[in-house]
Structure 1
Amino acid sequence: MPLYILTSKKTFSAAEDFSYAMQQAKRATIVGEVTGGGAHPTMPFSVGQGFVVHIPFARSLNPITNTDWEGTGVQPNVEVEASKALIKAQELIFRERQATAKTDKDKQKLTYLINAVHVNGNLGTLPLDQFDQFAGTYGPLVIYREGNKLLCSFSGNKTELAHIANNLFVLDGNAQIEFVKDSKGLYSKARLFVQNGEVFEELRK
């Protein structure tokens, strides 16, 4: 089973040992920040007159690299900020599964999941005039702007669209919606991605 280990600059000592060993054995993918770089155990030594210093008395030695991570830290396979490491690892898991998916529907299901992990990311917001360009009726869906929110009305229900990236939004818990431009530069249709992998298109009225 694929294994992903998340690290930060605060990852230190024994946690680094585990991460380094698993990485060098090609048993895990490290995602996050370069770790603290503490490989050599220390112990206190008296130097007289009440002073004590901590001095390394041993070192780790990896049988594959014949060295350790002292002073350099464990270098991630995929380097990202620690706060984004979990989301990145989830994306990598889905992309790995997508690469071996056998049908287009299965691949699309995984694209849906990849998009979903980025909903709460710091992707910025689109300008309000672009929200106005999306506004319109697409099949049974009515898209409109209310203040600084982009909303969808369907069968009497109103939901707020959550931005994923570019022209792609979360429509609800089971679907995502992408606004598609035509050759004239107008948003003339909406593409709906359903959680089960199905894709539908609705023309703008």
Structure 2
Amino acid sequence: MNPTPPAPRKSLPRGVHVAAVLCLILSGLTGMFAAVEATNLTHLSDLREEAPPRMSALGDPVVIEKVVQAQISALEPMREPRSLILGALAVACAFTFVAAGRILRPAGLPLEGMRRLLGGAAIAAAVLRTIDGAQWMVVVKRVGIVMAEALGTLPEFQHPSTAEQVKSTVPVLMSAGTLAQTIFVAGAFVLIGQYFRSDRVREAVTAQDGLRE
């Protein structure tokens, strides 16, 4: 009499895999950008001298120089607190990235621990990304005003109505873009965090851990 074959192991629900992959992408990109900006904050004096010539091919050198100088001037007073927030955001994203990777490929580790880590780290990343966005909004508002004034000096914007429209539109568009980006990224972290903290995912992960024992 042939022995009864063992029951096939069930994998995690497809939604968990999709959410983990999206989390890998989101946390990887956000953490990388945060780490790069935190590094750049330590070299503001170098950027003040090097950035305008390096970016002159992207547009009018005078406008670009004024914009870059305004950005650096806005960043200098908040260099230390912003570096702290960006560093913490990069760390939170790193934890989120690792936890999401282990959800996809556990390598013998309990999935429940990774689920809890991912949920908590994603919520922390959402909070830090919101603070990061608020800090960057201060910079964008100042840069938007300077950019609008600089664009108003160009020949193509010399008409009074056009110049006035540029001055009123550019800062608003830049602020709206920054706000939308913050809502999108922070909101995505919140959704991912709440999803992995949900009872549905917890039960699926607990069942999977039980099958692996």
> Which structure shows the higher helix fraction?
2
Q: TM-score range by the shorter chain?
A: under 0.3
Higher relative contact order (CA 8 A, sep 6+): 2
- TM-score normalised according to structure 2 size: 0.24
Greater gyration radius: 1
